[in-house]
Chains A and B, each alone.
Chain A
Amino acid sequence: MIPMDTELRPNASIDPLMQERLARLAERRTGGAGSSSSSSGSRHTTAPSAQRPASRKRHAAQGSRTAAVMMSVGVAAGLTGYFQRADAAAAADAAAASSATASVATASTAATTATATQVLATSTASSGSSGATDTAVQTATDAANTDAAIASAATVSATGLADGTYTGATDTNKWGPVQVQITVSGGVITDVTALQTPSDDGKSVRINNQAVPILVSETLAAQSADIDSVSGATYTTDSYKVSLQSAIDLAKATAQQAAA
């Protein structure tokens, strides 16, 4: 019987080992069809020097290299998908939490003014020791689970804002809670502090480190919650504006209260 690849096996009388080697070389030169068992087996038995002319085109670790490429791409794609799913799940949780908070907020909006007045009474009584006032307000806020609280309040000016420090409502978005505190002095918003920003993951922290200073300077310039969104930090901007507006509302309510 004549083998199909007669030309690759020149002479049947040649030493079979030599024949095998010739066949392998020929296979390599023609590029070889995939990693046939003969070529992968050969790497164990053949000295590297014998492979040199052929391995110029063909990598010694061709199969493993391909496997490494496929594994890397696969792992990267898998992780990307996993991160996406994990974040979507977290976002769903946060959304659920925030809608719950939102309903509480609507329900308690009417009560806010009342609570604020109470806090105002407490804080004026204890004015002087601001540390104690802060704690008192914090407790009041937590206990009542209300949206806003005042640390101290005094003069009312033409801007309609009473001087003092006001803590806005906590607004929770997809990434987490945002809460701001404003300081009004001479009827002007002189300082904004972000009490809470999303901090569950590194990316949020990085975004907020960048966005919050911009939002604050915008607020100080605009003297209202009517400010531009920081690109790339849309969620934070929106929540910031909600919290800021509630703090401003509180400063206004306090002014009206004092005027009455």
Chain B
Amino acid sequence: MNDFLGYVTRSTGIVATLLMLASLAWGLLFSARETGTRLRPAWWLDLHKGLGGLAMVFTGIHLVTAFADTDLGISLATVFVPGAAGYESTAFTWGVLAFYGLAIVVFSSWPKLLFRTRRTWRAVHLLSVPATVLACVHAYQLGSDAGTPAFRVVLVLAVAAVMYPLAFRVINVVAKTRQAPTRS
């Protein structure tokens, strides 16, 4: 049973990481929508939310199975307190912080309650970027498969794929700030 839980921890961890990366990409592409491209905004935003929610669900399964796997001896403190792990403490800490980041991003957006100003919401929502980076570091350091070429290739390719939306968005922001003075 523990073995099985370990496998589920690994697979859901990988899927959660990929979903975070995908959600990041879709969010960035959506936000850069004013570039006059033929993107379908509603579709990008809706899929972005779907991917974000899924990432949360898979991270949840990941945590529950990691906790339930008694081979790992993970306590509640390990799951919720950064630096509380007795071993591989840094790798766990990145995971815990990524988890908090993800949870804040998702639950500050999903029930549209917490932020009434767009600016604060967006500032909080941009936590998604460091959170995703931390998730990748955590996966890389802690994963049983981190050493395997397949895992590395997938992770590197996924991260590389997100560079396009990121650049797209950054260019978009730069273009907007250049325009700003003439507008106001």
The chain A residues found within 8 Å of chain B, CB to CB, are 43-44, 48, 51, 55, 59-62, 64-65, 68-69, 72, 75-80, 83-84, 87, 201-203, 206-207, 209-210, 231-233
Could you tell me which residues of chain B, from 35 to 88, have a CB within 8 Å of some CB in chain A? 40-47, 50-51, 54, 58, 70-73, 86-88
List residues of chain B with CB within 8 A of the CB of A201. 144
Q: Map CB proximity to A onto B141-176 as digits: 1 under 8 Å, 0 otherwise.
A: 011111100000000000000000000000000000
Q: Using known A-B contacts A72-B15, A83-B11, determine if residue A61 contacts B47 with beta carbons closer than 8 Å.
A: yes
B54 touches A69 (CB 8 A): yes
B interface SS class = helix
Interface status of B19 (Cβ within 8 A of chain A): yes
Query: A25 CB to closest chain B CB, in angstroms?
Result: 16
Interface status of B14 (Cβ within 8 A of chain A): yes
List residues of chain A with CB within 8 A of the CB of B4. 80, 84
Query: B121 CB to closest chain A CB, in angstroms?
Result: 20
Interface status of B177 (Cβ within 8 A of chain A): no
Query: B158 CB to closest chain A CB, in angstroms?
Result: 12
List residues of chain B with CB within 8 A of the CB of A202. 142-144, 146-147
Which of B7, B15, B70, B88 sits near A206, CB closer than 8 Å? B88
B86 touches A60 (CB 8 A): no
Known: A61-B47, A76-B15, A233-B71. 17 other contacts (CB 8 A): A61-B50, A62-B46, A65-B46, A68-B19, A68-B51, A68-B54, A72-B19, A76-B14, A76-B58, A80-B7, A83-B11, A84-B3, A84-B4, A202-B144, A209-B87, A232-B2, A232-B73
- Of all A-B residue pairs in the complex, the 3 with the closest CB atoms, nearest first, are A79-B11, A60-B42, A65-B50
Query: B77 CB to closest chain A CB, in angstroms?
Result: 15
A72 touches B54 (CB 8 A): yes
Interface status of B6 (Cβ within 8 A of chain A): yes
- Closest A residue to B22 by beta carbon equals A68
Interface status of B129 (Cβ within 8 A of chain A): no
The chain B residues found within 8 Å of chain A, CB to CB, are 2-4, 6-8, 10-12, 14-15, 18-19, 22, 40-47, 50-51, 54, 58, 70-73, 86-88, 142-147
- Closest B residue to A48 by beta carbon equals B42
* Residue among A61, A62, A84, A232 with max Cβ neighbours from chain B (10 Å): A61
- Closest B residue to A44 by beta carbon equals B40
List residues of chain B with CB within 8 A of the CB of A44. 40
- Closest B residue to A203 by beta carbon equals B144
List residues of chain A with CB within 8 A of the CB of B72. 203, 206-207, 232
> What separation, in Å, do the CA atoms of A79 and B11 have in the docked complex?
5
Query: B109 CB to closest chain A CB, in angstroms?
Result: 15
- Closest B residue to A47 by beta carbon equals B42
List residues of chain B with CB within 8 A of the CB of A55. 42, 46
Query: B26 CB to closest chain A CB, in angstroms?
Result: 9
* Residue among A44, A48, A51, A206 with max Cβ neighbours from chain B (10 Å): A206
List residues of chain B with CB within 8 A of the CB of A79. 7, 10-11, 14-15
> What separation, in Å, do the CA atoms of A203 and B2 have in the docked complex?
11
- Closest B residue to A84 by beta carbon equals B7
In the complex, 17 of the A-B residue pairs with CB atoms within 8 angstroms, ordered by the A residue number, are A48-B41, A55-B42, A68-B22, A68-B51, A69-B54, A72-B15, A76-B12, A76-B15, A79-B11, A79-B14, A80-B7, A87-B7, A202-B143, A207-B71, A210-B73, A232-B70, A232-B72
Query: A228 CB to closest chain B CB, in angstroms?
Result: 15
Query: A168 CB to closest chain B CB, in angstroms?
Result: 24
List residues of chain A with CB within 8 A of the CB of B18. 75
